[in-house]
């Protein structure tokens, strides 16, 4: 009798454990499906963010290229003006140098009595 009662208790516990195992399997399956669904939503959101980021980067590149072209244009116009002024200043310098040399030659001629 004692043996039979123990056996029935063990069988009852085994049955309870099997039910718990089945319930846990169902919960694990449910959790797995929820995780996959969440992963799919996150993957979709990541793709949306990538597209948005790529679009923003393309817009920024376009804006930077436009600004660079504008700056290059203003730099070229500024450099051409500087070149023109440098050319004028070089002519003035040569003129001043020649007139100074002429004055020195004239003074030397007068001092040494060459004329």
- Cα separation values, 86 from 91, 99, 110, Å: 9, 20, 36
Query: 82-105, pLDDT tens digit by residue?
Result: 999 999 999 999 999 999 999 998
Q: Looking at residue 2, what is its pLDDT?
A: 83
Q: Distance between CA 21 and CA 15 in Å, rounded?
A: 10
Question: Which residues of the chain fall below pLDDT 70?
Answer: 1, 114-115
Q: Looking at residue 97, what is its pLDDT?
A: 94
Q: Looking at residue 28, what is its pLDDT?
A: 96
Cβ contacts of 7 within 8 Å, gap of 6 or more: none
pTM for the model stands at 0.50
> For residue 66, what are its two tokens?
């436009």
């Amino acid at each position: 009798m004692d043996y039979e009662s123990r056996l029935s208790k063990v069988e009852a516990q085994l049955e309870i454990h099997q039910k718990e195992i089945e319930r846990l399997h169902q919960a694990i399956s449910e959790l797995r499906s929820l995780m996959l669904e969440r992963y799919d939503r996150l993957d979709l959101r990541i793709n949306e963010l990538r597209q948005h980021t790529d679009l923003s980067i393309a817009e920024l590149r376009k804006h930077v290229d436009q600004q660079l072209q504008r700056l290059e244009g203003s730099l070229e116009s500024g450099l051409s003006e500087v070149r023109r002024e440098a050319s004028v200043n070089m002519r003035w310098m040569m003129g001043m140098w020649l007139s100074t040399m002429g004055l020195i030659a004239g003074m030397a001629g007068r001092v040494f009595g060459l004329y």
